[in-house]
Amino acid sequence: MTRVALIAHDDEKPEMIDLAQSYESTLAEFDLVGTGTTSKRIMAETDLTVERKESGPMGGDTQIGAEVAEGRMDGIVFLRDPLTAQPHEPDISALLRICDVHDVPLATTRASAEYILEGLVRDEADD
């Protein structure tokens, strides 16, 4: 089953909720994982089930990065707030780097997230 991580910085959580609601039927076909608060909010506002990791600052980004390194992740939607400094920026940079190293698609905007989700659906249909 296709495994997708959903992560959003605080200012981007409303956009993530809207994305999850818009793509709920698509996301329901995936094995979802996400960081703490983002996962909790998605599950509260949709019928989706999301495996909850720690919040980003508490190691959630690193936990998801470990899954990328283990070959367990097919795509990541990480709606980042580019205008606000994050206290766990080194963890964020490590996640971005490990996605590049392992060639795992990573979306950081709504538009790129839609492309990745639609591409993963096509890949799953081809299998």
Binding region = 9, 13, 35-38, 55-56, 88
Name the catalytic one among 61, 103, 123, 126.
Answer: 61
For this structure, is 47 an active site residue? no
Cβ atoms of 54 and 35 within 8 Å: the answer is: yes
Pairwise CA distance, residues 61 & 78, whole Å: 10
**Residue that has been written with the tokens 């495994």 in this structure:** 3
Comparing CA positions, the residue from 121, 103, 106, 83 lying closest to residue 6 is: 106
- Catalytic residue positions? 61
